[in-house]
Structure 1
Amino acid sequence: MSDDVKEIFAPASTPPGSPGPPAPPAPAALAAKVRTLAPSMTRSMQRVAEAVASDPAACAALTVTGLAELTGTSEATVVRTARILGYPGYRDLRLALAGLAAHQQSGRAPSVTADIAVDDPLPDVVAKLAYDEQQTLADTAAGLDMAQLGAAVAALAGARRIDIYGVGASGLVAQDLTQKLLRIGLIAHAHSDPHLAVTNAVQLRAKDVAIAITHSGSTGDVIEPLRVAFDHGATTIAITGRPDGPVSQYADHVLTTSTARESELRPAAMSSRTSQLLVVDCLFIGVAQRTYESAAPALSASYEALAHRHRIGGPSR
């Protein structure tokens, strides 16, 4: 075995006095991690990830050498894949695979449905979409880092001002989060125009928060204002399906989303919105809980104002 491979197999060191590495994902989160991270892996790592996701029981019975031979890769690639998925080494990944296989055998982890076809009858389309939506939500919940989510909630609860960046489908999610925060008395702005986003980001300071929403993690119109906010001292948050993407370079806190399988009739933008909205709701509820004494009256006031508007038939002219 070469020195390079030995180094890969060696456990990662932790500097004295620093916290240990994060706990590896639970078995139920393994499939979600594979779906989320596989697109950003090298092709050889993808073969390993696809193998463990498609047949966890069989892979759990294999040694690192056996899995390398099965996937036509190397032992080093298998270990690297395990670490990218969040496990300290292959032994930990094997334990998770055994747990995932047990979940599937008990019926708690149903097999993935087929893609939606052009000639599918509407009842099948509804059933497949419902399953994919449920799986996306479950994957996102299983993969959310609670420490990162808690830190993001704390930052938002104490923010002087909140800027939220998103374009396309992610822009709709940015607007949804903005209106939720406004209704509990926080100052929030959604920006879909990249020029206005950067112009506003320049004004952010240490007590402010900037949030970038991008499934790909590489949307330039979203990354640039986040970078500017980061450089000006604001607390920055990324909601992304690619935690290793460029957006994470400028994010103090990263919240990872999952996505249902992309198909010809269901692009990534459509399926990613489901998981983004779940994260947005988690942030909103967390902030409302922390600021309940001020959030509850503000929410009641907004309800009353809207009810009054409907009672009089709309705004006066």
Structure 2
Amino acid sequence: MKENVTRRAGRPRPVAVAPPPTPPEPGALAAKVRTLAPSMTRSMQRVAETVAGDPAGCAALTVTGLAERTGTSEATVVRTARLLGYPGYRDLRLALAGLAAQLASGAAPAVTADIAVDDSLADVVAKLTQDERQALADTAAGLDLRQLEAAVAALTAARRIDVYGVGASSLVAQDLAQKLLRIGLVAHAHADPHLAVTGAVQLRAGDVALAVTHSGRTVDVIEPLRAAFDRGATTVAVTGRPDGEVTRYADHVLTTSTARESELRPAAMSSRASQLLVVDCLFIGVAQRTYASAAPALHASYEALAHRHAPRRR
């Protein structure tokens, strides 16, 4: 792997550069648009929504033709393609052709309406199930497996792991830390921002700091990640905004998708399932690579907890 020198804490340190991200599969294009559109400029939104809404028609257009159709510029079209994960417009056109073929074969994703105040519980269950299923499918389709592999490798070799998250994301951070503890790794979840920064400044090369933030701009998560980054720890961001500020301090970025937000389904709810999918993938990847030690550790924790659930004798 090529080496690059990144300045941290006032001194150069060799840092392995992760391979460039793999362009999304055709089926992941709509998911990428849903995830990134809120953070795009209006002109880029027009391009992204146009190609997602009419992949067959746009696949036949040149970059100039798409710019004219969307009332934007060629530079905006190219920037949109790159933000969606494609090296250039040619790669986006190939993905559009592939997506058009999928849609023609009947592989279009189901879409449900937002949950209404007067919906029956049966409708709520059906709509939530469909939304969660779509969010998980979108996250899986858009997940960069090379970034995931690099994050798993870093966690596997880590001396210590700190995980940051606040609000709903703190539940996801705690879930990952608890799983890693059960296979014998030294892992801590920090929901208190002061304790998170206090712990982060103790990290160094060989440690891992992982931040969970849907928005990518939660200050209480970014600050400890930046402190860990500056001290040479390997840093990972699990976020719904790959262009968010948190990624400036992340060696590896794992992008999540979300179900559609609504009045009764805020971002905290819609992002949670996708975040849990990503941290479960991280945990399983680490457990596979440390199976010789992870399996006995899991067994020991099961045994210890089983005794706590045993009925008491009177």
Structure 1 match to 2:88: 89
SS at match of 2:184: coil
- Do the aligned residues in 1 keep the contact of 2:21 with 2:147 (CA within 8 Å)? no
Instruction: Label 1:124 to 1:66 Cα distance change in 2 as closer, same or farther (>3 A).
Output: farther
Report whether the alignment pairs 1:267 with 2:266: yes
Aligned-pair identity (%) = 82
Residue 69 of structure 1 deviates from its aligned partner by 2.5
- Answer with 246-255 or 81-90: which moved more: 81-90
Q: Which amino acid aligns with 1:178?
A: A
Q: Which amino acid aligns with 1:73?
A: T
Instruction: Label 1:313 to 1:249 Cα distance change in 2 as closer, same or farther (>3 A).
Output: farther
Question: CA RMSD for the aligned pairs?
Answer: 1.8
Residue 145 of structure 1 deviates from its aligned partner by 1.1
Structure 1 match to 2:208: 209
SS at match of 2:47: helix
SS at match of 1:210: strand
- Answer with 59-68 or 232-241: which moved more: 59-68
Structure 2 match to 1:106: 105
Report whether the alignment pairs 1:234 with 2:260: no
Structure 2 match to 1:46: 45
- Do the aligned residues in 1 keep the contact of 2:31 with 2:139 (CA within 8 Å)? yes
Q: Which amino acid aligns with 1:112?
A: V
Instruction: Label 1:253 to 1:303 Cα distance change in 2 as closer, same or farther (>3 A).
Output: same
Deviation readout 1:226-245 (Å, 9 max, x if unpaired): 11111111111110111111
Instruction: Label 1:234 to 1:185 Cα distance change in 2 as closer, same or farther (>3 A).
Output: same
SS at match of 1:53: helix
Q: Which amino acid aligns with 1:253?
A: H
Structure 2 match to 1:27: 26
Residue 122 of structure 1 deviates from its aligned partner by 2.2
Structure 1 match to 2:134: 135
Q: TM-score, normalised by structure 2?
A: 0.90
Structure 2 match to 1:174: 173
Deviation readout 1:173-195 (Å, 9 max, x if unpaired): 00100110111011111101000
Instruction: Label 1:225 to 1:21 Cα distance change in 2 as closer, same or farther (>3 A).
Output: closer
SS at match of 1:287: helix
Q: Distance in 1 between matches of 2:223 and 2:137?
A: 31
Residue 21 of structure 1 deviates from its aligned partner by 5.3
Structure 2 residue runs without a partner (length 5+): 1-16
Q: Which amino acid aligns with 1:160?
A: R
- Do the aligned residues in 1 keep the contact of 2:229 with 2:235 (CA within 8 Å)? yes
Residue 19 of structure 1 deviates from its aligned partner by 9.9
Aligned residues: 297
SS at match of 1:185: coil
Report whether the alignment pairs 1:58 with 2:57: yes
